Amino acid sequence: MAYLFTSESVSEGHPDKVADQISDALLDNFLAFDPESKVACETLVTTGQVVLAGEVKSDTYLDVQQIARDVINKIGYTKGEYQFSGDSCGVISLIHEQSKDISQGVDRGSKEEQGAGDQGMMFGYATKETENYMPLALDISHKILQILADLRREGKEISYLRPDAKAQVTIEYSDENVPQRIDTIVVSTQHDAFDADDEKMLAKIKSDIISILIPKVKEQLPAHIQTLFDDAITYHINPTGKFVIGGPHGDTGLTGRKIIVDTYGGKGAHGGGAFSGKDPSKVDRSAAYAARHAAKNLVAAGVADEILVQVSYAIGVVEPTSIYVDTYGTAKVNLNDGQIARKVAELFDMRPFAIEERLKLRNPIYLETAAYGHMGKEPITVTKTFESPYNGRVEKEVELFTWEKLDMLDQVKATFGI
């Protein structure tokens, strides 16, 4: 019997994502001027206010207030009528030094013996469903909001958009887990106040989303995915009515509240640990990236059509406490999931420092992860510039999304005899 599966995404202007981006911008600046920084930054945003908190151990000093303001302005909160603006909001910093009780278990004389920054379990997932090995419903949800943001910044075809938005996509699957059609698309977007009455305003927004936004989304998808869009899709566009009040003025935002948006949209599994604002000694982040790297390379190499990789740690302990694999019965090799897991442990060194080195995680690469998902993006090399009144100006060439590289295919194929 066919079934429905749903994933959602939120825009860069969503309050929780504003908080995530500020936390990761702070992390990037600390790492740019001191790559050995230990950082755990949390952010709260609300009407006219930003609160920064957390623990940092670093040899550098930053103007954290200005970094936060720059992020807010770049997102698009630049007008007084939004009740939240990078130029006018208050920014309170409560950041303090990392606990020595924690750092003594993580820092070691040899970097190779660096212990995990926390206990817990992290998951990585990959599926052949899309070209980037991500779940389809989440991939489309991200694209809807990325293109909506492009339209907002251009201000031509749709001129009334404000930064806060959410999207949700429901896909109908066959018994064989193959996508058949898109059943429902939900888009809620913040907008300027209209002179027209609410009914005309909502009709205009719905028409623009369906006739302007959705065709642009389809254009970015491969032909076999485009066929899933049909005339029977149910659209819910701003279903609660007008959405003028939004962003941090409409809803308080906090770092780490969109962990499913950040990962796999409800597919696979999640260990519960958030990513943004955490340096790579925190395995909540680095091990989740490493698990995705492993899962993606395994699926791409043909080990299985769908794979979940779990890795777990004890705080201060170097070696992971377990590595687990679930292929959901899609394995293409003559091994059970336990045997596959043992080979994964041989192929991918999951010690914290080994992950940092392999994926080049002690670089300022994190702001780009903080909206539209940490997984599924194209690995690219860019040059980033950081300026500080205390540290001067630095330029760094860095690789973004290294955990998305298919750089282990040959090793995986050789190990599994593919």
Binding site residues, as ranges?
Answer: 14, 16, 42, 55, 98, 164-166, 242-243, 251, 257-258, 274, 278, 282
> Which has the closest alpha carbon to 16: 173, 166, 125, 167?
166
* Residues flagged as binding site for K(+): 42
Gap between the terminal Cα atoms of the chain: 33
Report the distance separating Cα 103 and Cα 36, nearest Å. 13
Binding residues for Mg(2+), as ranges, are 16
Least Cα distance to 145 among 171, 165, 121, 173 occurs for 165
Q: Could you tell me which of 77, 81, 102, 104 has the C-alpha nearest to residue 91?
A: 77
CA dihedral 282, 261, 257, 319 (to 10 degrees): -20
Contact (Cβ atoms closer than 8 angstroms) between residue 118 and residue 283? yes
The one-character DSSP state at 213 is I
Rounded to whole angstroms, the Cα distance separating 374 from 69 reads: 23
- The answer to whether 56 touches 36, Cβ cutoff 8 Å, is no
Report the alpha-carbon distance of residue 184 to residue 42 in Å, rounded: 34
DSSP letters spanning 190-210:
EEPPPSS-HHHHHHHHHHHII
Strands 179-191 and 234-237, sheet pairing: parallel
Q: Which of 283, 263, 374 is nearest to 21 (CA)?
A: 374
Torsion of CA 309, 313, 317, 320, to 10 degrees: -20
Query: Helix/strand/coil (H, E, C) string of 150-178?
Result: HHHHHCCCCCCEEEEEEEEEEEEECCCCC
Please enumerate, by residue number, every residue annotated as part of a binding site for ATP: 14, 164-166, 242-243, 251, 257-258, 274, 278
Instruction: Measure the CA–CA gap between 305 and 403, rounded to whole angstroms.
Output: 19
Strands 49-57 and 90-97: parallel
Read out DSSP for 288-342? Answer: HHHHHHHHHHHHHHTSBSEEEEEEEE-BT-SS-SEEEEE-TT-B-SSS-HHHHHH
Binding-site residues for L-methionine, please? 55, 98, 251, 282
